[in-house]
Amino acid sequence: MKKVQEFSPITEAEIKRKCEGNVFVRSWNSYYAQQGDPMVDINNELNVHHCKTIQELKEAFMMYDVHRQCFIYKNLVFVNSTLGGGWEAWTLKKFGDELIAFESISMQHIIKEGTHDRLTFEEYITQLLTLTKQDVLHYLDSDYWKLKGDFAQLLSAEIHDSVDTSLSTLKFRDKRIGEITVEAEKLGFDVEEWQKKVEGE
């Protein structure tokens, strides 16, 4: 059984605090104001809306594209960093009491194209929901995802293969899993979390 991610209610106040650290979505002296863009509204308040379903979230992305429009779905937060139409979603996720920013996503483009990395919009949002805190903290780290992918593939094969797997193959897997574990721990990654996720699937 997959562990349910626990988080405290997301408040407008904490989203505003996070936004003030991002030049594209902060309320004062934003990137657009610095460029002298006449479309900048000095009273451009953060507009927060809670979506109850992925379908509602999808429809909202296509209907409302105002700068600093914010949608919340479960423990995901999306803030529009685009001025003048379009949806470049500054994306955050909450774990416990901590709200962590980790990506900027072209939501309307994904919806219009129908896929993102071979995932539908609905599948992509579901994937974002499964990200652990460790995944989010290392979201743009290619070394993290390569090691995690290799580890999961080897461990999954070890769990599911038939009993007649050759001894040499098993030795290779054990050796490679050990190498990945050492390398990951040197980089500060939690391999135990990876193992629990594979074994729990």
Ranges of each domain in the chain? 12-132, 142-200
3-state DSSP assignment of residue 82: coil
Helical H runs in 30-132? Answer: 31-34, 54-63, 107-113, 121-130
Do residues 107 and 89 touch, judged by C-beta distance below 8 A?
Answer: yes
Query: What is d(CA 123, CA 131) in angstroms, rounded to the nearest whole number?
Result: 13
Residue 1 has what pLDDT?
Answer: 45
The predicted model scores a pTM of 0.77
β-bridge mates for residue 69, sequence order = 47
3-state DSSP assignment of residue 18: helix
pLDDT in tens, the chain (201 residues): 455 678 889 999 999 999 999 988 887 767 677 776 666 655 568 899 999 999 999 999 998 888 899 999 999 999 999 887 778 999 999 999 999 999 999 998 899 888 777 889 999 999 999 999 999 998 888 888 788 888 788 777 655 554 445 656 777 778 888 888 888 788 778 888 877 776 665
